[in-house]
């Protein structure tokens, strides 16, 4: 039981040492992540549409 208690004490001490992001930085990084997701989503959707169009033109659709 002492090992478990020591573990949680260590976790608490470690979390105090973590440098947490400010709200401004968190909003900036979250926005950048969402923007990249949207960009890649658009890229793959466009690529899929183009490839599906080529398949249709070549008569490969059964």
Q: Which domain holds residue 50?
A: 20-62
Is the pLDDT score of 6 beyond 80? yes
Is the pLDDT score of 53 beyond 80? yes
- DSSP, collapsed to helix, strand or coil, labels residue 24 as helix
Share of the chain above pLDDT 90, in %: 81
pLDDT of residue 58: 85
How many Å apart are CA 36 and CA 10, to the nearest integer? 37
Count the domains in the chain. Answer: 1
Question: Is the residue at 28 inside a domain?
Answer: yes
Question: Is the residue at 14 inside a domain?
Answer: no
**CB atoms near residue 9 (< 10 Å):** 10
Question: Is the residue at 5 inside a domain?
Answer: no
Higher pLDDT, 56 or 24: 24
């Amino acid at each position: 039981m002492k090992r478990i208690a020591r573990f949680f004490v260590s976790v608490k001490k470690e979390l105090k040492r973590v440098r947490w992001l400010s709200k401004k930085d968190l909003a900036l990084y979250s926005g950048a992540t969402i923007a990249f997701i949207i960009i890649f989503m658009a890229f793959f959707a466009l690529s899929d549409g183009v490839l599906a169009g080529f398949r249709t033109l070549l008569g490969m659709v059964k």
